[in-house]
């Protein structure tokens, strides 16, 4: 009897240890995925889908350098967001599976606590929006209304779901908005300042085709004088 009880105790301890050291890649998986749950999960994935779309756009449009610059700025702003979370240490009170679905560095843990402020999703989306749209609106003064409305809707949808799922507070969203927007503007200014060769690296959405390089500047009139030899 003693040997069987000790073996059961050992197996329980082993299971407990394995659960304690499991990687926090996906802490909770939403159960009973219905239409609403899938829609919520899709909305939570919006920042990552937008980043993936931008990277694919840079590859397809043969602007890999702009894509690398964008990724470097995104990595820096996420790292800065992590630092702010560890400074503020605002702990999550939600038991929703969506709140801690994503791995580190998108979900920041301190032992068992999940830090929520500033909102990572709000920071990423606001950084992308400002970095991409600022030169279009204020520099080129040729705003794309469709893109502006699209980014606004994506940000609003993502923020509302995060707040209603009690993953973050309104303050966390606003702090993420300020953090991402400010860093997006500063990063744009930095790239523009370092673009000494005028490669237009700071204007991500502007793609110059071969026609823009090879076309003649304007129409010119020429006056021909014909001279006859005697």
pLDDT number for residue 227: 58
Residues 142 and 134: beta-carbon distance below 8 Å = no
pLDDT number for residue 131: 93
Q: Is the pTM of this model over 0.75?
A: no
pLDDT number for residue 72: 94
Residues 120 and 83: beta-carbon distance below 8 Å = no
Residues 100 and 27: beta-carbon distance below 8 Å = yes
pLDDT number for residue 182: 96
- List average pLDDT for each run of 10 residues in the chain, which is 230 residues long: 52 46 44 73 88 92 89 93 86 69 57 75 94 89 90 94 86 94 94 79 67 50 59
Q: Which helix (H) or strand (E) covers residue 102, if one does?
A: none
């Amino acid at each position: 009897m003693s040997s069987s009880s000790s073996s059961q105790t050992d197996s329980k301890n082993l299971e407990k240890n394995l659960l304690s050291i499991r990687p926090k890649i996906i802490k909770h998986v939403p159960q009973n995925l219905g239409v609403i749950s899938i829609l919520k999960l899709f909305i939570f994935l919006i920042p990552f889908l937008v980043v993936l779309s931008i990277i694919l756009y840079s590859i397809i449009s043969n602007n890999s350098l702009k894509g690398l610059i964008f990724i470097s700025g995104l990595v820096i702003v996420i790292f800065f967001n992590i630092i702010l979370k560890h400074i503020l240490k605002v702990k999550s009170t939600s038991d929703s599976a969506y709140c801690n679905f994503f791995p580190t560095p998108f979900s920041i843990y301190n032992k068992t606590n999940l830090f929520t402020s500033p909102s990572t999703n709000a920071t990423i989306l606001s950084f992308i929006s400002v970095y991409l749209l600022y030169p279009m609106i204020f520099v080129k003064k040729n705003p794309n209304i469709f893109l502006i409305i699209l980014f606004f809707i994506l940000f609003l949808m993502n923020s509302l779901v995060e707040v209603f799922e009690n993953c973050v507070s309104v303050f966390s969203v606003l702090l993420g908005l300020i953090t991402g927007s400010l860093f997006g503007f500063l990063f744009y200014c930095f790239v523009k300042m370092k673009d000494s060769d005028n490669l237009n690296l700071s204007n991500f959405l502007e793609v110059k085709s071969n026609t823009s390089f090879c076309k003649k500047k304007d129409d010119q009139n020429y006056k021909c004088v014909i001279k006859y030899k005697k």
